[in-house]
Amino acid sequence: MPLVLPTRQRRCFHVDSQGVDLDLDQPVESSTDEALAAKKLPLQCHGCGAFAQISHANEAGFYDLKRKAVRKFLGLEEQLESPEKDLEEKDEEDFVVDQALQSLEPEKLEELGIDPRTFHYGEETESHMTSKPNTTPLCDRCHKLVHHREGTPIFHPNVDALRETIGESPYKYNHIYHVIDAADFPMSLLPRLHQLLGDVSLRRKNRRSRAGRYYQDRQFEMSFIITRADLLTPTEKQANSLMPYLRDTLRDALGSFGKHIRLGNLRVVSAKRGWWTKELKQEIYKRGGAGWMVGKVNVGKSQLFEAVFPKGTTADIPASRDPIEVSMFAREEDSENARYIEDEVVDGEEEKIDPDSLLPPTRPEVNYPEMPTVSSLPGTTASPIRIPFGNGKGELIDLPGLARSDLELFVQEEHRQSMIMQKRIKPTQYSIKPGQSLLLGGLIRITPKTPNLIFLGYNFTPLEEHLTATDKAIGFHDQTRTAPGVVNIATPEAASQMAHAGTFQLRHDVTKLRAGPLTRKDAINLDIERLPFRVLSTDILVEGVGWVELTAQVRTKQLYARPIAEEAPQPDPEELAKDPFAVLEQLARDGKKGESAPRKGPTRGPTEPNWPLVDVYSPLGKFVGSRAPMNGWLLNKPRVLDKHKKARPRKSMKGAKKREKLATRAPAGGAASTAET
């Protein structure tokens, strides 16, 4: 499916008197009070970043004025009496406690664990304690995503739109965080992103290379962040041990340019487990300026945004200092135009905001702002979300995701959410014998091509695997065959679009890791060259889903054997009779065949070893790649519990009764012998 260019969203800052309801057939019957109260809606939805509007129900940012949460926020919902009484009683108790704390000195408050700077005195405390917190509601689209897990994705922007958005940055220091998903790493990487976004500085291996450069009074740098690292390993220590492998794999994915850069700006984090998020948060706050979250859809940008945003940093800089005076802006006009947007839209606000700007205005800065919506729906973020921190020191910006994969178009709608890897997978080891194939959810088929060789397969995808004969797997893949135990999530239209995605070689040697005690230093410690076999492996990637690890053990003689030479075709006797010189050439060739080959001299092997081969089939022959093996089976294989271990064998009971009789007779015989003496 070709990439659809994004259409500019209509930004409705005003409230239409005749809106459109969910059916888009009849206008909403809204009173004058509702129309006036709708002006109190937030400028943007804090979940998806879309501009608030009440006209188009099928677009992002739509607020239904009949929704209870929206009416409460606008002050149109009448509250019941009993909850008000409960709130009043709680407020009275809080007011008494607050009055008691006011009589204490700041030193006493610090001993009690209360910060005097954040403690309010006087009348402000009473109003602050008695007022009910009124949270900003989400738009209808985000509300359905959070509570009902249903919604429609937006049009994904292209790199040109992101480049224009980043180009409107008013900050002098800009840092781009290229977020990559660990599930299909490195398929979610944009190899030339630093060139597509402009002259972004990536430090090279040359010792004279500078850390950062300025272009048009702005500095742009880039870091690579591999998120959702908890899908790879069970512990943080094991994830850190994968850094050399991840760095080499990323260098290969960057192509020839990757050989010349340092890649010291690579981080592996997990927002779910909190791996390295604290260090990244401190780095973002220390760097300041504008931090841009760039990446494809469903790579975990919004979840990472919530984990690394420096919350509670408003009081770090004295409040008397104007944020505009902080020298973080590139030009004077940018610092003059930088100001906070209040909750209520004042008169003339619509004229001061540029509707053609790709970068929306920033939010009012608070210590603990409302974070973007985290959802597995591709394309949740509809517009850039800007949240400032550090009292004007900088801001973190969540950008909409780029298009990633169209594989979900070939999956039934009720099974699309099952394609997203939510947790770490402990796979099952499958022995793929000759004549068998491994089927993944009816979408992907892996068939060994090398004859007389057994492959080991480990499925690290949420798709349900099924090992069967190749002819049956072809029937399941083409949907001409069904079985009760085989799950096929592909659409009926996808059956006719299955194609060969490529032949992949198992060319990575993992003998040292797989040979066990033969190569272990504390055991036999044999050199790999002395072993009569080699263990080869590779990872087959499925874009946006996961990977499948394939391993095979090959004898060294077969791996480096000479290819069988094909015999030359015998000439036709009738043609030899017509050409007199052809008879002489045939006699000369027959004489060379009869000569004995020399016994001495080295035997030269083939230029390329006989790597094991596998064929992969997928919709349209796409969405499949390969990489060096991560050896995920060694990191995630199920632990052998004590109850599954082989118990100590039972003691033999042969001759037990005879030994027992002899033991009972021994004391009597000993006493008689002593009496006789």
Element (DSSP H or E) covering residue 126:
helix 123-130
> 45 or 84, which is more confident?
45
- What's the sign of the alpha-carbon dihedral 19, 23, 26, 31? negative
pLDDT value at 363 more than 60: yes
Q: Which pLDDT score is estimated for 506?
A: 96
> Quick one: pLDDT band at residue 21, thresholds 50, 70, 90?
very low
Q: Which pLDDT score is estimated for 540?
A: 97
Q: Which pLDDT score is estimated for 320?
A: 45
User: What is the tens place of the pLDDT at every residue in 101-146?
Assistant: 766 777 777 777 676 655 554 444 433 433 444 588 999 999 999 8
Q: What is the DSSP letter of 316?
A: G
Do 337 and 330 form a contact (C-beta atoms < 8 A)?
Answer: no
Most confident listed range (15-29, 134-148, 588-602):
134-148
pLDDT value at 519 more than 80: yes
Pairing mode, strands 218-227 and 266-268 = parallel
At residue 479, what is the residue type?
Q
**Residue matched to tokens 């081969």:** 613
What six digits make up the tokens of 344?
């209520």
Q: Which pLDDT score is estimated for 136?
A: 87
Q: Which pLDDT score is estimated for 670?
A: 53
**Residue matched to tokens 């009779």:** 577
**Residue 441 to residues 328, 464, 621: CA-CA distances in angstroms?**
52, 5, 16
- The percent of residues in the chain predicted with pLDDT above 70, rounded, is 72
pLDDT value at 499 more than 70: yes
> 276 or 667, which is more confident?
276
pLDDT value at 495 more than 80: yes
pLDDT value at 31 more than 70: no
What six digits make up the tokens of 436?
């068998």
What's the CA gap between 37 and 32, in Å, rounded?
8
For 141-196, the DSSP string reads HHHHHHHT------PPP-HHHHHHHHHT--BSEEEEEEEEESSSTTTT--TTHHHH
What six digits make up the tokens of 118?
């954040």
Do 623 and 543 form a contact (C-beta atoms < 8 A)?
Answer: yes
Angle at 313 between CA 307 and CA 315, to 5 degrees: 160
At residue 423, what is the residue type?
K
What's the CA gap between 308 and 300, in Å, rounded?
12
> Quick one: pLDDT band at residue 473, thresholds 50, 70, 90?
very high
Mean pLDDT of the chain: 80
User: What is the tens place of the pLDDT at every residue in 59-85?
Assistant: 889 999 889 888 888 887 754 444 444
Give the closest residue to 269 by CA, choosing from 296, 309, 231: 231
Q: What is the DSSP letter of 357?
A: -
> 325 or 243, which is more confident?
243
Q: Which of 395-409, 441-455, 521-535, 600-614 comes out lowest in average pLDDT?
A: 600-614
C-alpha torsion 474→477→483→487, nearest 10: 150
Q: Which residues pair with 322 in a beta bridge?
A: none
**Residue matched to tokens 């540029």:** 354
User: What is the tens place of the pLDDT at every residue in 148-188?
Assistant: 888 877 878 888 889 899 988 889 999 999 999 999 999 99
Give, rounded to a whole angstrom, the gap between the first and last alpha carbons of the chain: 109
Give me the helix-helix angle, 81-102 and 123-130, nearest 10°: 150
Return the beta strands (E) in 237-319 as ranges.
266-268, 289-294
Cβ neighbours for 153, distance < 8 A, ≥ 6 positions apart: 297, 377, 378, 379, 380
User: What is the tens place of the pLDDT at every residue in 234-282?
Assistant: 999 999 999 999 999 999 999 888 888 899 899 999 999 999 999 999 9
Q: Which pLDDT score is estimated for 640?
A: 65
Across the range 593-617, mean pLDDT stands at 65
Do 443 and 411 form a contact (C-beta atoms < 8 A)?
Answer: yes
Q: Which of 214-223, 585-594, 653-662 comes out lowest in average pLDDT?
A: 585-594
Cβ neighbours for 612, distance < 8 A, ≥ 6 positions apart: 448, 450, 453, 455, 505, 506, 536, 552, 554
Q: Which pLDDT score is estimated for 571?
A: 63
Most confident listed range (205-214, 420-429, 563-572):
420-429
Q: Which residues pair with 618 in a beta bridge?
A: 499
Domain boundaries, the chain: 81-130, 152-398, 409-561+610-636
Give the closest residue to 307 by CA, choosing from 289, 296, 297, 293: 293
Across the range 531-556, mean pLDDT stands at 96
Rounded to two decimals, the pTM is 0.76
Give the closest residue to 398 by CA, choosing from 480, 534, 280, 300: 300
Pairing mode, strands 429-432 and 455-460 = antiparallel
Cα 54 from chain centroid (whole Å): 34
> Quick one: pLDDT band at residue 25, thresholds 50, 70, 90?
very low
Across the range 52-62, mean pLDDT stands at 88
